[in-house]
């Protein structure tokens, strides 16, 4: 990170802003209110009143903290993109027309027996999921500002003036999908008219400032987008309302002159992800434009380095003057937990380095007022963290330093490994397997919870696990699967289970972050060097292996997935942490192999979501990400077969990286896309083995043998027979046993039909 040349400018008092606050509440009140309403246990009024109380509390917190620009309309009962669609009158017609009622709102957001909800996808490179706008001709665009104005007035009734937040028109359009090839930009005039109407209504309410979020400006813009931006903002800046054009998650980069030219009253930049852009943005601004500098990280939980942040702010002040600089978080605080107060079990020292949403408000205020006491305390905490021996493991550092190219490559190339594996594993053509987990029944979850909370002894719990594993193996044998798994009954999720064994990880009690709707996740915190003091999966895998003569597959979560689904330390590069996890997994892989496990799957469902927003940065990421995987998997002998699994099918653009993983077998999701992605594998000449998922595990529907056989026939058109494995799309943990047995039986039948027909 480039530190701007420091100046002697002293910030006396800068204005402060927040860009958005977590909605769930300190105790996840919103989650429980939503779920109570959905299940019919409480009324709509109950839900609305919880939501109102939370908003009031959160505004007061921000006011008390001393934030000048406090957001409104950042709250949502489900998702802010869906709220924006309601606001501009662009919700999908298949859910009904006319004003959107609470129940219609939730029908669009949530699957029900009657109807499939709107599609959901990740909000840029965060783990927050938004509902994807559906664009087509004939959308009414009937503006509804009830929520927007309602929140504004609610805050005013509390004596708090807010800066309403809107998702900008271009981000809204471009994050949506055109139905049947429809070009979303064709709707630009309608969307502009809707936003003009909205801004006029805000102006009538005497609103002075609006935060207009256009994070799409931090990405590579598609063709036509820049002109669309110009057209839109030429219209929107005619309003007397002052617009803070808000970008985050990466640098504005080559969109800088465009962003400035739009002529908004101010621009917000993410100075945590991209501090180097500060100087060029400050220099490019028009004389009246303000600069909001995001120096407090909105999406991670570490304390801000005040001395570094102040140097950025000083540089901005030197360029623009105090009146034109605002201190802000890098992005909305939506992506961090509510507050640290409820964390009583974290090591005190680590706690001193953490800042959740409430504590981040205090940081923003302290930086704005150049609070000397806060700066002194901050410097002490920063120094404490830098000096902490708990974050550095010399043995791990040494190991990392000694790595050479042989640590990242299998002993032989795939073509030489596969005959050995074939001979040793004794598998038929079109081998059948599963992705790892088997149904996590209520009973399984009950035992795990009871054990975790100390209500069940380890002895009883482990006896239960052994029975579950044995039952699962007998089921797989009678279904006729070729490569078996133990079922993953001991695992709560893909990351926490491993993190609990590893050094360098800590766990919060209440560090919840919204993933979508009422769903929250509690990512582990990687605060120090990662190391594996003892084996994590060998006991259960080895036990499973001892019960059957068929090959048993060991199941691990890959380094990138563990990294992506944790809060990652920011005092060493992400790559270093990824490689440390890779080393820890290598130890596990070696132990599994030594225990006689000859098939090992290392899941990497999050490889793609780690991609940087800008394509120019992809290669660097993919290079170290692929190496992290190879570090974990390359030490095994030629006869040991490495599998990997990914839960999606948009592979075309990263196929060379997928091939570079050099896994002997990759399984992935294809059933819903009718094997479309196989074409990409063929075009690339993908050499290793592939298990294209032949049925969708997301639904309880049991496809028949013919349906799966048809998909396999499609696969056979593009792949060589020896390349094909037969498996479901993903793990079976969310399914019930009866449908699982039925579907897998049909799947194995499809495989034997394929064997018969290809022998003929
Ligand atoms: N092995 C994991 C399972 O079967 C993989 C889950 C995933 O890909 N998300 O549950
Ligand atoms: Zn999956």
What pLDDT is stored for residue 8 in this prediction?
A: 42
For the chain, helix, strand, coil in percent to 5 are: 50, 15, 40
What pLDDT is stored for residue 6 in this prediction?
A: 43
Residue 452 in 3-state DSSP?
A: helix
Of 340-344, 437-441, 529-533, 662-666, give the lowest mean pLDDT range: 340-344
- Average pLDDT of the chain, as a whole number: 95
* Count of alpha carbons within 13 angstroms of residue 174, beta-carbon side: 22
Segment 693-716 shows an average pLDDT of 92
pLDDT tens profile 429-465: 999 999 999 999 999 999 999 999 999 999 999 999 9
Ligand positioned closest to the Cα atom of 647: 2
- Our CA angle for 420, 426, 429, nearest 5°, is 100
What pLDDT is stored for residue 670 in this prediction?
A: 84
Which residue has a Cα nearest atom 1 of ligand 1? 436
Percent of the chain residues past pLDDT 70, beyond the cut: 98
Q: Which residues of 405-425 are buried (b: 16+ CB within 10 A; e: fewer)?
A: eebbebeeebeebbeebeeeb
Ligand positioned closest to the Cα atom of 434: 1
Q: Which residues of 106-138 are buried (b: 16+ CB within 10 A; e: fewer)?
A: bbbbbeeeeeebbebeebbbbbbbbbbbbbbee
HEC assignment per residue over 148-168: HHHHHHHHHHCCCCEEEEEEC
Ligand positioned closest to the Cα atom of 435: 1
Distance from residue 106's CA to the centre of ligand 2 (Å):
26
Percent of the chain residues past pLDDT 90, beyond the cut: 92
pLDDT tens profile 58-84: 999 999 999 999 999 999 999 999 999
Specify the ligand 1 atom closest to the Cα of 437. 4
Which residue has a Cα nearest atom 3 of ligand 1? 731
Mutate to test the pocket of ligand 1, among 730, 732, 740, 744 (most ligand atoms within 8 A of CB): 730
Specify the ligand 1 atom closest to the Cα of 435. 4
Query: Is the shortest distance between the CB of 558 and ligand 1 below 6 Å?
Result: no
Which residue has a Cα nearest atom 4 of ligand 1? 731
What pLDDT is stored for residue 699 in this prediction?
A: 84
Beta bridge partners of 292: 268, 326
Task: Evaluate if residue 4 carries a pLDDT over 60.
Answer: no
Specify the ligand 1 atom closest to the Cα of 731. 4
pLDDT tens profile 128-183: 999 999 999 999 999 999 999 999 999 999 999 999 999 999 999 999 999 999 99
* Count of alpha carbons within 13 angstroms of residue 131, beta-carbon side: 26
* Choice among 338, 453, 486, 698 that is catalytic: 698
pLDDT tens profile 378-418: 999 999 999 999 999 999 999 999 999 999 999 999 999 99
pLDDT band at 5 (very low <50, low <70, confident <90, very high): very low
Query: Is the shortest distance between the CB of 605 and ligand 1 below 6 Å?
Result: yes
Segment 339-365 shows an average pLDDT of 96
Ligand positioned closest to the Cα atom of 606: 1
Burial (CB count <10 Å: 0-12, 13-18, 19+), residue 166: buried
Query: Is the shortest distance between the CB of 484 and ligand 1 below 6 Å?
Result: no
Query: Is the shortest distance between the CB of 537 and ligand 1 below 6 Å?
Result: no
Task: Evaluate if residue 655 carries a pLDDT over 80.
Answer: yes
645 among known catalytic residues: no
What pLDDT is stored for residue 652 in this prediction?
A: 78
pLDDT tens profile 547-592: 999 999 999 999 999 999 999 999 999 999 999 999 999 999 999 9
Q: Which among 324, 381, 314 has a CA at the least distance from the CA of 351? A: 381
Tokens, residue 138: 């004939």
Q: What are phi and psi of 548, to 5 degrees?
A: -145, 155
Query: Is the shortest distance between the CB of 603 and ligand 1 below 6 Å?
Result: yes
Distance from residue 735's CA to the centre of ligand 1 (Å):
13
What pLDDT is stored for residue 587 in this prediction?
A: 98
Distance from residue 321's CA to the centre of ligand 2 (Å):
52
* Count of alpha carbons within 13 angstroms of residue 589, beta-carbon side: 28
* Integer angstrom CA distances of residue 648 from 75, 113, 629: 30, 24, 18
Distance from residue 464's CA to the centre of ligand 2 (Å):
26
Distance from residue 397's CA to the centre of ligand 1 (Å):
31
User: Where exactly does CATH 3.20.20.210 map onto the chain?
Assistant: 15-388, 413-759
Which residue has a Cα nearest atom 10 of ligand 1? 731
Mutate to test the pocket of ligand 1, among 560, 605, 665 (most ligand atoms within 8 A of CB): 605
What pLDDT is stored for residue 3 in this prediction?
A: 45
Specify the ligand 1 atom closest to the Cα of 733. 10
Distance from residue 597's CA to the centre of ligand 2 (Å):
22
d(Cα 314, Cα 8) in Å, to the nearest integer? 8
pLDDT tens profile 244-281: 999 999 999 999 999 999 999 999 999 999 999 999 99
Q: Which among 572, 638, 564, 571 has a CA at the least distance from the CA of 603? A: 564
Beta bridge partners of 600: 554, 642
Burial (CB count <10 Å: 0-12, 13-18, 19+), residue 509: exposed
What pLDDT is stored for residue 725 in this prediction?
A: 98
| DSSP H or E segment with residue 610 | none
Distance from residue 44's CA to the centre of ligand 2 (Å):
36
pLDDT band at 114 (very low <50, low <70, confident <90, very high): confident
Query: Is the shortest distance between the CB of 697 and ligand 1 below 6 Å?
Result: no
Contact between 91 and 108 under an 8 Å Cβ cutoff? The reply is: yes
Query: Is the shortest distance between the CB of 299 and ligand 1 below 6 Å?
Result: no
Query: Is the shortest distance between the CB of 343 and ligand 1 below 6 Å?
Result: no
d(Cα 138, Cα 46) in Å, to the nearest integer? 36
Query: Topology of 15-388 in CATH?
Result: TIM Barrel (3.20.20)
Mutate to test the pocket of ligand 1, among 488, 540, 558, 697 (most ligand atoms within 8 A of CB): 488
Domain 413-759 belongs in CATH node 3.60.21.10: no
């Amino acid at each position: 990170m480039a530190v701007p040349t420091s100046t002697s400018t002293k910030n006396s008092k800068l204005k402060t802003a927040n860009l958005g606050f977590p909605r769930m509440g300190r105790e996840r009140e919103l989650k429980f209110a939503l779920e109570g309403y959905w299940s019919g246990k409480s009324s709509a009024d109950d839900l609305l009143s919880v939501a109102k109380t939370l908003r009031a509390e959160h505004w007061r917190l921000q006011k008390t903290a001393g934030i000048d620009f406090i957001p409104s309309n950042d709250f949502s009962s489900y998702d802010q993109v869906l709220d924006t669609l309601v606001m501009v009158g662009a919700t999908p017609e298949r859910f009904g027309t006319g004003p959107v009622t609470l129940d219609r709102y939730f029908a669009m957001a949530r699957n029900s027996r009657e109807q499939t909800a709107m599609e959901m996808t990740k909000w840029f490179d965060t783990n927050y999921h938004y509902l994807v706008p559906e664009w087509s001709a004939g959308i009414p665009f009937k503006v509804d500002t009830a929520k927007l104005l309602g929140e504004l007035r609610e805050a005013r009734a509390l004596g708090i003036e807010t800066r309403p937040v809107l998702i900008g028109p271009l981000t809204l359009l471009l994050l949506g999908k055109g139905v049947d090839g429809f070009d979303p930009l064709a709707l630009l005039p309608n969307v502009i008219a809707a936003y003009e109407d909205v801004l006029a209504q805000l102006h009538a309410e005497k609103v002075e400032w609006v935060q207009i979020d256009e994070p799409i400006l931090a990405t590579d813009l598609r063709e036509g987008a820049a002109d669309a931006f110009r057209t839109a903002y030429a219209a929107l800046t005619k309003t007397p309302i002052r617009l803070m054009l808000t970008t985050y998650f990466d640098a504005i980069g080559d969109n800088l002159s465009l962003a400035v030219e739009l002529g908004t009253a101010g621009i917000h930049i993410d100075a945590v992800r991209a501090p180097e852009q500060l100087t060029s943005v400050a220099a490019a601004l028009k004389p009246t434009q303000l600069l909001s500098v995001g120096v407090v990280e909105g999406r991670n939980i570490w304390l801000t380095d005040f001395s570094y942040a102040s140097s950025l702010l000083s540089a901005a002040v030197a360029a623009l003057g105090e009146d034109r600089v605002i201190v802000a978080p890098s992005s909305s605080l939506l992506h961090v937990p509510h507050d640290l107060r409820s964390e009583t079990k974290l090591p005190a020292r680590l706690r001193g380095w953490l800042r959740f949403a409430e504590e981040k408000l205090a940081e923003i205020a302290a930086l704005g007022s150049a609070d000397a006491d806060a700066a002194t305390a901050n410097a002490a905490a920063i120094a404490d963290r830098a000096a902490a021996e708990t974050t550095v493991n010399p043995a791990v550092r040494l190991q990392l330093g000694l790595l050479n190219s042989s640590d990242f490559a299998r002993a032989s190339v795939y073509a030489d490994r596969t005959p050995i594996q074939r001979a040793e594993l004794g598998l038929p053509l079109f081998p059948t397997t599963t992705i790892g987990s088997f149904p996590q029944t209520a009973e399984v979850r009950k035992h795990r919870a009871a054990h975790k909370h100390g209500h069940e002894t380890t002895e009883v719990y482990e006896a239960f696990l052994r029975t579950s594993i044995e039952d699962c193996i007998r089921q797989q044998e009678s279904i006729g699967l070729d490569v078996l798994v133990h079922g993953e009954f001991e695992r709560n999720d893909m990351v926490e289970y491993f993190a609990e064994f590893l050094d360098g990880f800590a766990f919060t009690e209440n560090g919840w972050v919204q993933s979508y709707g009422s769903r929250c996740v509690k990512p582990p915190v990687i605060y120090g060097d990662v190391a594996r003091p003892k084996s994590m999966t060998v006991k259960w895998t080895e036990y499973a292996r001892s019960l059957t003569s068929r090959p048993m597959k060991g199941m691990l979560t890959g380094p990138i997935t563990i990294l992506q689904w944790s809060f990652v330390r920011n005092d060493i590069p992400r790559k270093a942490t990824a490689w440390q996890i890779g080393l820890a997994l290598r130890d596990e892989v070696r132990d599994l192999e030594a225990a006689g496990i000859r098939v090992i799957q290392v899941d990497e469902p999050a490889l793609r979501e780690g991609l940087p927003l800008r394509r120019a940065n992809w290669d660097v990421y993919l290079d170290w990400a692929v190496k992290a995987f190879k570090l974990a998997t390359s030490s095994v002998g030629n006869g040991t077969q490495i599998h990997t699994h990914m839960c999606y099918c948009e592979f075309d653009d990263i196929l060379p990286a997928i091939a570079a993983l050099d896994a002997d077998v990759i399984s992935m999701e294809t059933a819903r896309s009718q094997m479309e992605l196989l074409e990409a594998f063929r075009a690339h000449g993908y050499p290793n083995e592939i298990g294209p998922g032949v049925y969708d595990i997301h639904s309880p529907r049991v496809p028949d043998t013919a349906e799966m056989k048809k998909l396999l026939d499609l696969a056979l058109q593009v792949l060589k027979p020896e390349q094909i494995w037969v498996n479901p799309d993903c793990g079976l943990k969310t399914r019930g046993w009866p449908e699982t047995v039925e579907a897998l039986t049909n799947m194995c039948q499809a495989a034997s039909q394929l064997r018969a027909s290809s022998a003929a």
